[in-house]
Amino acid sequence: MRSLLFISLLCAVAFAQGGRTYPIAEPDVWEEILARQERAVQKFKELSKKYDENYIQNNIMKDWRVRLPLAEKSKTERIDWVYTLEFDIPRVDDKGNVVGVLYPKGYRFRPIQYWPTTPPPLIVFDGKDKRQIQIVKKLLTKYPNSMLIASDGAVFDLMKGFNARVYLLHPKLREVARITDGVSVIKFYLRTGHIIKEVYGRDALEKTR
């Protein structure tokens, strides 16, 4: 069975039968967002022996970094994230014997509906754009329990400025939530399994002044 790639954005789904568990979801974006923090800390420790803090905070996880333009206009998009199985999930009896197919290759499902809890809203922005940072500060009054995710920027300085943890945008989350602009607020709905993406653009910036 192929190895499932994910450390973060959204969820690992497993079906258990006869005491044996078979993962069937794409690597989990949500788990990755949380798990990558430890890797980032370890990477920081390694780099700190060679480089100063300014270099590190602008280059750590360099392959993840992308610039997000400020959207011209605010908008809302509903995203139906459906995953298709790329292999059969076997049916297993109480003795561990394969007795058929439980979920066939091609089976389609919404991973979000299998998450145990609803994640907080994710506020995604370009940390190098001061206009987007200004919008994010305003949004934090509306979404005080949100998670901040930067597509680029000096992450440690951003943490100090927001007095909160700031994570880097994982490529898988960017793909699943179709993130092309800043500032984007990503919300997940377990009952229906869909994503709501609220994009705040130049018109939202005017309201912060």
Average pLDDT over residues 1-27: 33
CA distances in angstroms from 31 to 26, 63, 171, listed in the order given? 11, 19, 13
What is residue 45's predicted lDDT score, i.e. its pLDDT?
62
Asked whether residue 134 carries a pLDDT value surpassing 90, the answer given is yes
Among 76, 78, 34, smallest CA distance to 184 is for: 76
What is residue 90's predicted lDDT score, i.e. its pLDDT?
84
Question: 120: exposed, middle or buried (C-beta count within 10 Å: 0-12, 13-18, 19+)?
Answer: middle
What are the φ/ψ torsions at residue 135 (nearest 5 degrees)?
-65, -40
**H or E element in which residue 80 lies:** strand 75-80
Rg of the chain taking only CA atoms, in angstroms = 19
Exposure pattern of 24-41 as b/e (b: 16+ CB <10 Å)? bbbbbbbbbbeebeeeee
What is residue 86's predicted lDDT score, i.e. its pLDDT?
83
Average pLDDT over residues 183-203: 92
Predicted confidence band of residue 9 (pLDDT cuts 50, 70, 90): very low
What is residue 15's predicted lDDT score, i.e. its pLDDT?
26
Condensed to tens digits (0 to 9), the pLDDT of residues 32-85 reads 555 655 666 666 566 555 555 566 556 666 777 889 999 999 999 999 988 888
Contact present, 64 and 127 (Cβ < 8 Å): no
Average pLDDT over residues 75-102: 86
**H or E element in which residue 38 lies:** helix 29-48
What is residue 183's predicted lDDT score, i.e. its pLDDT?
94
User: Would you give the DSSP letter of residue 50?
Assistant: T
Domain ranges within the chain, ordered by starting residue = 14-206
Token pair for residue 60?
């750590």
Give Cα 159 to chain centroid, integer Å. Answer: 18
Asked whether residue 172 carries a pLDDT value surpassing 50, the answer given is yes
Condensed to tens digits (0 to 9), the pLDDT of residues 109-130 reads 888 887 888 888 999 999 999 9
Asked whether residue 8 carries a pLDDT value surpassing 80, the answer given is no
Give the chain's mean pLDDT: 76
Predicted confidence band of residue 131 (pLDDT cuts 50, 70, 90): very high
What is residue 63's predicted lDDT score, i.e. its pLDDT?
74
